[in-house]
Amino acid sequence: VRLVESGGGLVQAGGSLRLSCAASGSIFSIMGWYRQAPGNERELVAGITRGGSTNYVDSVKGRFTISRDNAKNTVYLQMNSLTPEDTAVYYCNAAAILSNQVYWGQGTQVTVSS
What pLDDT is attached to residue 54?
A: 98
What pLDDT is attached to residue 104?
A: 97
What number is the average pLDDT over the span 41-51? Answer: 97
The single-letter code of the amino acid at 73 is N
- In this structure, are residues 108 and 17 in contact, taking their beta carbons and an 8 Å threshold? no
Percent of the chain with pLDDT over 90: 97
What pLDDT is attached to residue 106?
A: 96
User: Hey, which bits of the chain come out as E strands?
Assistant: 2-6, 9-12, 17-24, 28-36, 43-48, 54-56, 64-69, 74-79, 88-96, 102-104, 108-113
What pLDDT is attached to residue 9?
A: 97
60-108 pLDDT, tens per residue? Answer: 999 999 999 999 999 999 999 999 999 999 999 999 999 999 999 999 9
